């Protein structure tokens, strides 16, 4: 499963083992989330808004994820979903692409008022301070990136933000209208380049970007092939960039036992 989260969990457990004063909140108790709104974003994607019974759910960093638990036909199903809302929003939201059991439940069966369960938000795919961000998203990989971009913009960032967003078609582009609105409202910091209908980004798009942008942090989320290609293009730039940050949407769920405070 996802390397970064396992590393994080190991570090926390190591800290507890060596008693080096790391304070950890127990995050093993599933708590109720009530579905407050369902919005079909595209023909195969739905956003699910939650009302948590515990307000601690709002204490998260942009792009962290929730480990949710739903009971389907008597079977417990655990899955991981990035939060697509920003900590600065007044709501908690995940955005789910139709795939197997749990996404089918959210897309086709869930109703406002249904209660599911979740652990508190966790994850180390979070924003590092920078004056310049390059985000690379493919399909549903936009969810954590949308959370980060909204958070930067809502906090009146002075940083420059560029998004390369790849999708099969314009119709299947999640948050297309919302991103368009953000780009109009925040045209100074935000630039979006859409890649659709097989027009994929390539090394020259990254080279062009790097001609005018230096010292940027890059965040990638999307299919494995998009991630591999983006990392290669970034490496080819031969700049002193830090390692690209990536999030992996592996099937199933990513265990996390504690939250450092």
Ligand X SMILES: Cc1cc2nc3c(=O)[nH]c(=O)nc-3n(C[C@H](O)[C@H](O)[C@H](O)COP(=O)(O)OP(=O)(O)OC[C@H]3O[C@@H](n4cnc5c(N)ncnc54)[C@H](O)[C@@H]3O)c2cc1C
| Nearest Cα to Cα of residue 92 among 112, 66, 73 | 66
In the complex with ligand X, the residue whose CB is nearer, 63 or 210, is: 63
**Neighbour tally for 200: CB within 10 Å:** 14
Q: Contacts with ligand X in 130-149 (CB under 6 A)? A: 140, 143
Choosing from 42, 64, 85, 95, the residue that interacts with ligand X (CB under 6 A) is 95
H/E stretch holding 140 reads none
Residue 251 interacts with ligand X (CB under 6 A): yes or no: yes
Choosing from 8, 41, 61, 247, the residue that interacts with ligand X (CB under 6 A) is 247
Residue 97 interacts with ligand X (CB under 6 A): yes or no: yes
Choosing from 222, 249, 258, 259, the residue that interacts with ligand X (CB under 6 A) is 249
Choosing from 49, 50, 57, 81, the residue that interacts with ligand X (CB under 6 A) is 81
x/- binding map, residues 41-80, to ligand X, per CB under 6 A?
------------------------x-------------xx
Residue nearest ligand X (C-beta atom): 100
- Rounded Cα gap, residues 215 and 235, in angstroms: 14
In the complex with ligand X, the residue whose CB is nearer, 105 or 206, is: 105
- Residues contacting residue 86 through CB under 8 Å, at least 6 positions apart: 62, 147, 150, 151, 154
β strands within the chain, DSSP E = 24-26, 31-42, 45-52, 65-72, 75-82, 92-97, 115-118, 132-138, 160-166, 190-195, 217-221, 245-247, 258-260
Site for ligand X, rule CB under 6 A: 2, 65, 79-82, 94-97, 99-103, 140, 143, 247, 249-252, 254
């Amino acid at each position: 499963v996802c390397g970064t989260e396992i590393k994080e969990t190991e570090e926390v457990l190591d800290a507890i083992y060596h008693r080096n004063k790391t304070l950890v909140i127990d995050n093993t108790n599933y708590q109720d989330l009530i579905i407050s709104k369902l919005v079909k974003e595209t023909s195969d994607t739905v956003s699910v808004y939650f009302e948590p019974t515990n307000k601690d759910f709002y204490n998260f960093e942009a792009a962290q994820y929730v480990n949710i638990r739903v009971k389907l036909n008597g079977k417990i199903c655990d899955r991981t979903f990035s939060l697509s809302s920003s900590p600065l929003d007044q709501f908690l939201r995940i955005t789910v692409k139709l795939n197997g059991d749990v996404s089918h439940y959210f897309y086709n069966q869930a109703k406002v008022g249904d209660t599911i369960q979740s652990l508190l938000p966790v994850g180390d795919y979070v924003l590092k301070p920078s004056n310049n961000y390059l985000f690379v998203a493919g399909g549903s990989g936009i969810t954590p990136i949308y959370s980060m971009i909204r958070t930067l913009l809502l906090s009146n960032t002075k940083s420059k933000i560029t998004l390369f967003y790849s999708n099969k078609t314009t119709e299947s582009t999640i948050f297309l209208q919302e991103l368009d609105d953000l780009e109009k409202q925040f045209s100074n910091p935000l630039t979006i380049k859409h890649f659709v209908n097989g027009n994929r980004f390539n090394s020259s798009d990254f080279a062009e970007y790097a001609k005018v942008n230096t010292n940027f942090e890059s965040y990638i989320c999307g299919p494995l092939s998009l991630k591999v290609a983006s990392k290669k293009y970034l490496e080819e730039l031969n700049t002193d960039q830090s390692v690209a940050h990536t999030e992996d949407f592996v099937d199933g769920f990513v265990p996390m036992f504690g939250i450092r405070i």
